[in-house]
Amino acid sequence: MTMAVALVTAFLMVAGSLFALIAAIGINRLPDLYTRMHAASKAGTVGSGLLLVAVGFHSGDLAIFSRALAGFFFFILTAPVSAHLLAKAAHEVGYKLDPVSVRDDLKKRKV
């Protein structure tokens, strides 16, 4: 049984690390603030959540695993909402999109 726990933990850690790596590459390579925030909020959230679940699973304690799972769901629920609000605030302040971006849906309506 310990080998199965080790394999699941290793899989979750590798998957979480890959998502975190993709988020880091996206932050460095994408052209403007909005696309960087997208990479950080999506891949970074899943990466950190998977790493948290891996730690909870590796502990072998149900109480720690349930807290890790609750933390994962908290990441999933809050990170995209906060990234959306930060991007909307950045747009209202006046951060421009990169010329590569083809469409600005918020340019038409000022609320």
The whole-number pLDDT of residue 110 equals 57
**Can you give the pLDDT at residue 69?**
93
The mean pLDDT value for 32-52 works out to 89
Locus of tokens 């880091």: 24
Q: What pLDDT was estimated at residue 106?
A: 76
Q: What is the mean pLDDT of residues 19-34?
A: 91
Q: CB–CB of 39/27 below 8 Å?
A: yes
pTM for the predicted model, two decimal places: 0.81
How would residue 107 be classed by pLDDT, with cut points 50, 70 and 90? confident
Q: What are the extents of the domains in the chain?
A: 2-93
CB 92 within 8 A of CB 101: no
Tokens of 88: 């909307």
